[in-house]
Structure 1
């Protein structure tokens, strides 16, 4: 009985120890949320990675998260609100390998709890399907000083991706172009076709077709959305390239592109020449082109610059041929179709008439700050011309232009700012700048308008009168000031002279009385004056009277000033 009781006790103890050890060994779960979700193609979905510690304290977690690269791509990883503040390996991703990795830690006292956020991963859905996002190579380590891995479970996420549309796709980014034939309305002699197009990121497949009908639907399917196509050695004619892309279960509208190819030279070029009664030579040209049609002819005289003549709808044209000298000339005529293919022929023409380069109309007089306008006639269309304009100081201004399709030219100079006589003439040039012909010389007089001349004369006169008037006014003011000062001085002098006269009169009067008083005293004295004393007193009296008269006269003279 005791033996049985001991066996039961041991069994219970071992079972309890087993569960205790199991609980201690594995007690954390890594999970993604939401575990299941739907998203449409082209949109984004956020998956949050978190950890549950189930009552244990952890200080580290690491993992690799796998996702299908054909269905999903990572847009960004967010770790701003993570429970981990220390990163052994920063969260990163690779859309090429389909992996998201992280390795983070938290310092003491560690983390304990449920739903501890680790990172958030934002995916973009690429095409329809079911994407499984799962953990691999993961660990959650306990904060026990040993780094014990206590990861007991991993819960991933399943993302169902659906098409957002069932209607035809329209996208402004879907553009069809051709580098070899860039203009759909132009004929080209190039038979190697290069087509390219841009696709939205959601495109999963395409269809193409090259055919003879403008509105065909493409039939050649590519499960990889290519964006270019080369087609060599295409036959002559009008062709149409068509392309369409697929976005999950939806498809785009078909893009169409026209290609116009003509690699064949024109045929049946014929040239006849004729002369009128003045001797002017006219060439009549005709050619055929069954596909793109004749566009223009060129005429070269003595291997010179070609004269370009536009063909009519029937492939014919006429042109008066200019010659710079009389006699025999070699002429080459070429016919070009609308794709640039050409055929040429040579002929000999004898010229009896040499056309001139002349100025037909010009102004005899223009006003200052106006332009000189001139027109004339060149020997042939599209001739390279140089207009020269020389002023009185022999300064020459040069302008280049070309004659029009009627061999006429028009010239307008820049505004002429200086008056004077201007001489104008025109030279016809070769491509290398050599002069072929020179026109007559004409003279235009540039004048200032009458009102401006009067104004200029008035301004010039005023430039003289105004300073002179100012000087005159200053002189008068100075004269007035001098007169005022002189008058004030005069009044002061006159006043002083009167005062001097009065003072001197009083002085001589006092002196006279004093002298007379002394004379009387001497006369009353008991002693008789000697002869010398009597003579001195007489002379002194006379001199005093004479001095009084002189002083009085001088003062009176000063007062008269």
Structure 2
């Protein structure tokens, strides 16, 4: 019994030594670690530079050997100029301290192979500049302190704050650091170099030459010329206009290609490193990508002024990326025309076309050149071309005549006359029934002519030229008959002269009879030629349309007039022959 009790006591003691005591010790390590700012208050003036230290209180125990955190500040009131690790209790850094004056943050993450125990161990020194009057608060956003117990136990129990009062000036600033900061590192950096390198590098893009132009190409290429002394470059492509690439060299290159970039606006960012380790400020290059065509849309035909007037095409298209820039409208048989997009439903009148059936296409084009098309068709009522329905094929010179025909109602008709001279044009307007008349009031000179017509509708559409009709213009009728009349008269006069000459040679016994016959012959000849003259004038007058209209008689066709004049000449010739025969008989 006694031996059993002793065994239980020894077991309890072992548990206390090997289990309970370490737990109690670990609990003691976890109590009291704090992160603080030194000093916790400061008064500065606008434009002043000052320093704030981030410090750690280990809280006793075995001490601490690692800490990380993010300091928050108001970027409207304060700006970080640099961060220094001089005098830090840590000698190991997973990454160098960084800051962002855009986000108002300063980040650190460090440690030490040896434990630190103390109440105000400096981790980093942040150098600020006061921007404007106000009260700025420094605080810890995310933070951690780890115990040096081999297990990385979290021992942070308190996060302090600091208040910076910024006045107009002449205030007492916080104590300045005794040493100049060794490193100033922008956000997302991976080395300790400065941003002192000044370069003038132009980044271009052969695939996207203009920054403010949209392109249907999502595989951009960027090129540049590396300045002398450059040893490395760091790049990134995203949708943010001012991102700084990490200070981690990708090696040397003067070209960067990307594949499958998302639609929208993207930015290429590049910074350069020289041989001494200095980095340049970031250079930015914008591109605009749109691979999607406009959304499908419909087009309708609106007959605002009736189906015999030009129609209106109504449509509206949208594009979610670059936007619709313009529309192209192509009507069958006509050249396409373009309409600028005004971001409202479109109502566009057709270009002038002749009556008929037409198909058309409306194509929406976005600012990157992507297109979507909609099709339709329409029937425009009316007459598609002008035609000649009434035209004399043969007329006499200088005689008025008319050309008549049909065309589209209220259209302009142009008659084109081609002959010995250069072509002449005569115009008329079709009435509401499409009838038209082109007068030729002065007639034409003799010759052969060709007449054709074309039509220009009230909307401005012009038809093709019609087929050519032939007009033959004859010489005046007297010109045709004059030689025959003159020949007959000449023969008659010659015969008469011969006979008279012979009479003089005859016996004086027949002189009296010959004189009387001669006188009779003269009277007859005069009567014959007066009748012949009247006959010719009458027949010629019946060829004149104006005279026929005044007399209310039908015009005489040229061939009939010629036939009647020939009959009159035959009668006259027969009378003359009889008179001559009488003279011959007497003279025997």
TM-score per shorter chain, which class?
0.3 to 0.5
Question: TM-score, normalised to structure 1's length?
Answer: 0.33
Question: TM-score, normalised to structure 2's length?
Answer: 0.31
Q: Which structure has greater strand proportion? A: 1
